[in-house]
Amino acid sequence: MIVKMKKMTLLIYHSSKDAFLADLQNLGVVHLETNRSASSDKIVRCKDFINRLGNSYKILKPYEDLKTDFNPGYSINDSVEILLEKVERDKGIYDNALSERETLKKDLSQAIPFGTFIKESVSKLNEIGVHFKVFSATKSAYAKIQHTNIVCEEIYTDKSTVYYAVFFKNGEILPELPGIEEKLPKLNITELQEKITEFDIVIKECEEKFIFCARFISLIEQKVKEEYNNLHYAFADASLSPEVDGKVFIINGFIPNKIEKQVDLFLKSQDCAYIIEDPKPDDNVPIRLKNNSFAKLFEPIGQLFSLPDYGELDTVPFFAPFFALFFGLCLGDIGYGFIILVLVVIGLFTVKNKGIKKILYLGLVLGLFTVLGGFILNTFFGNAIVEKTAYGNVETKIGVFDSLKNLVTFSDPNDRKGPMIFAILLGIIQVLLGQTLNAYNRVKNLGIQGIFQPIGTGMILIGSVMMIMIWMYKPSPEHSLTNFLVGPIPIGDMLASVGDPYKVGSYIALSGIGLILLFNSIGSGSFFLRPLKGLWELYNVFTGLLGDILSYIRIFALGLAGGLLGAAFNGIALSLKELPGGIFFMILIMVLGHTLNFLLASLGAFVHPLRLTFVEFYKAVGFTGGGKPYTPFTNKTVEK
């Protein structure tokens, strides 16, 4: 449900502007219409300081739980600014030391073939007229020059490569030698290792300083809140519209209806003038959602697309049960549902973050619906729970579920048609619900005439489905309509209850066509031109509905694919059971196979219901979206 809002227009005297904004921020309930693109020196300073605080927080956070007796000589009693300066300085030293150490490690790997040579020895050789060059070549190439008059010495061998030195006197011309000439490194191995050790010490000292400073991380968190308060204040200040030669400032805001009296009392105590009224249709009213505990879990999913417009219905309570059911059917395995439940329960006992806990509660719901989906689709880790015998009886294949076997909807594992029709029926129900919500929205915004187009679309869908079902089932005296079941749903009895389903369906569909021809384009154009425009509307309705309804087959397809893949892993694993060490490989393949299947199926089970919600359902609802969240101008450091 979208919380009803009141619009406020505030007129603030210039002499009391700063005090009024501070009091309004402490009140913390008014959503101000601020210009987020506004700029001022204070806004720039706040943003820069928040970035610095955030960077220091990221640096220190990994060290928060570490302890050290190291004392870097800091006295953190001055200010958070000084703490930031020290952290930033040490971070620069730390990053430079890391970079230099990595460079030295690369140099070390390249210097290994040259060993611990001494530069002075090389210079002495040059002084007496002896020089040398180092080459790297393959072993076979080096073997060819060993039997020549060339003075050479192998100094290092690495797999198939030989590093060798060739010695020659002044004026001696060397022949062309095999391999690549290598340059003598500036430092030898010992010198490089000593340098690396020096930087290791610098890195360790910096980390000790970070551990010491991390004990003050709560101060940084507090300062971040203060600076965000200052930033919000600066935006509010910069968004004030000056009037009467700058003596009066005007700004608009919104408050929930239920706190109107509280805000009214506050404003009466302030040096300001104000108007509180209902929002106008063209006002960009902020959105605050208020739902029950179940629907509230699905609000983050709805916000992945957009918040609703203030003039719309909140769709979350309506898509939430469908999303959970679709997720359960797409994953569709009792065993996988139990895995989700176990992981969620562990998370609830170990995770402290409130935001993550909300997600875990959503996972709890989805896990329960996955168990339900497993019962509907007759699957437990890829195995059938029950199976229909040749005599029509239902036998339990997994004994632990014997008392629950009546909950299994599709007892025949080979039944593909039933689950597919079941998925389509769920889609029809959701699309019809969407058209009903669309009718409500249109009546609210366009008047009573707005109800007829979505009702007409729903009637076309209902009538067409009735006719298609009769055409598919082809009832006869030997093939009674009452035998038409989809799982436990007596579709045939429902159809038979209306008399001649085909004829009734055609009447309903034709009536829907008539409503669309006469009541499209409400509020624009001539009534007499509507039938012509309605032909285009009908084309869109028929092609759109067909595509939308068929999209729900993905629920059946994903559930089927996950079940078949799980069964395939079971078959491969069991085929290894009798081999030597077969038990080990059987367990290994089952664990790895079902882990892979679970991860892939979970991803699909989340993404595809998301698509069905945001495309098929939202299109039926006529969802516009684009709402901005209700974010009150508040002081986060003040206890409310």
Evaluate if residue 386 carries a pLDDT over 90.
Answer: no
CB 280 within 8 A of CB 9: no
Q: Which has the minimum average pLDDT: 146-160, 182-196, 427-441, 550-564?
A: 146-160
Instruction: For residues 87-114, give the mean pLDDT.
Output: 90
- Alpha helical stretches, state H, 37-188: 41-60, 80-111, 119-127, 139-145
Q: How far apart are CA 607 and CA 592, in angstroms?
A: 23
- Going from N- to C-terminal start, the domains of the chain cover 118-183, 297-412+558-621, 418-551
Evaluate if residue 294 carries a pLDDT over 90.
Answer: yes
Only one residue has tokens 């509660």, namely 361
**pLDDT band per the 50, 70, 90 thresholds, residue 221:** confident
Instruction: For residues 35-50, give the mean pLDDT.
Output: 86
Evaluate if residue 556 carries a pLDDT over 80.
Answer: yes
What is the total residue count of the chain? 640
pTM of the model: 0.78
Residues 6+ apart with CB under 8 A from 57: 217, 220, 221, 224
If we measure between CA atoms, which residue out of 568, 559, 261, 251 comes closest to residue 415?
Answer: 559
Calculate the average pLDDT of the chain: 86
Task: Measure the N-to-C terminal CA separation of the chain; round to a whole number of Å.
Answer: 24
pLDDT value of position 182: 83
Q: For residue 332, what are its two tokens?
A: 């569709």
Instruction: For residues 36-48, give the mean pLDDT.
Output: 86
Tell me the sheet residues that pair with 166.
133, 152
Q: What's the sign of the alpha-carbon dihedral 314, 317, 318, 322?
A: positive
Helix, strand counts (H, E) of the chain:
21, 11
Helix or strand holding residue 158 (H, E): strand 151-158
Q: What angle do CA 594, 600, 606 make, to 5 degrees?
A: 125
Beta strands in 351-396 (DSSP E): 386-388, 394-396
Evaluate if residue 89 carries a pLDDT over 60.
Answer: yes
pLDDT tens-digit readout, 403-415? 777 778 887 777 7
Residue 205 neighbours by CB distance under 10 Å: 16
CB 224 within 8 A of CB 50: yes
Q: Which has the minimum average pLDDT: 185-199, 391-405, 549-563, 612-626?
A: 391-405
pLDDT tens-digit readout, 444-482? 877 888 888 889 888 888 888 888 888 877 777 767 777
Q: How far apart are CA 382 and CA 572, in angstroms?
A: 12
**Range from 200-214, 490-504, 526-540 that averages highest in pLDDT:** 200-214
pLDDT value of position 523: 62
Instruction: For residues 45-64, give the mean pLDDT.
Output: 91
Q: For residue 267, what are its two tokens?
A: 């404003």
Instruction: For residues 430-449, give the mean pLDDT.
Output: 87
Evaluate if residue 3 carries a pLDDT over 50.
Answer: yes
Q: How far apart are CA 517 and CA 533, in angstroms?
A: 7
DSSP 340: H
Instruction: For residues 540-553, give the mean pLDDT.
Output: 85
Q: Which has the minimum average pLDDT: 68-72, 188-192, 402-406?
A: 68-72
pLDDT value of position 71: 67
Q: How far apart are CA 60 and CA 65, in angstroms?
A: 10
Only one residue has tokens 């955030």, namely 54
Q: For residue 440, what are its two tokens?
A: 């409500």
Q: What's the sign of the alpha-carbon dihedral 87, 92, 95, 98?
A: negative
If we measure between CA atoms, which residue out of 125, 135, 136 comes closest to residue 170?
Answer: 125
The interaxial angle of helices 354-377 and 316-331, nearest 10 deg, is 60
CB 486 within 8 A of CB 422: yes
If we measure between CA atoms, which residue out of 327, 329, 338, 385 comes closest to residue 559?
Answer: 329
**pLDDT band per the 50, 70, 90 thresholds, residue 594:** very high
**pLDDT band per the 50, 70, 90 thresholds, residue 140:** confident
Instruction: For residues 551-580, give the mean pLDDT.
Output: 88
CB 59 within 8 A of CB 87: yes
Q: Which has the minimum average pLDDT: 246-260, 313-327, 492-506?
A: 492-506
Q: Which has the minimum average pLDDT: 10-24, 66-80, 211-225?
A: 66-80
Evaluate if residue 513 carries a pLDDT over 90.
Answer: no
CB 30 within 8 A of CB 288: no
367 burial (CB, 10 Å; 0-12 / 13-18 / 19+) is buried
Q: Which has the minimum average pLDDT: 21-25, 231-235, 302-306, 494-498?
A: 494-498
pLDDT value of position 578: 78
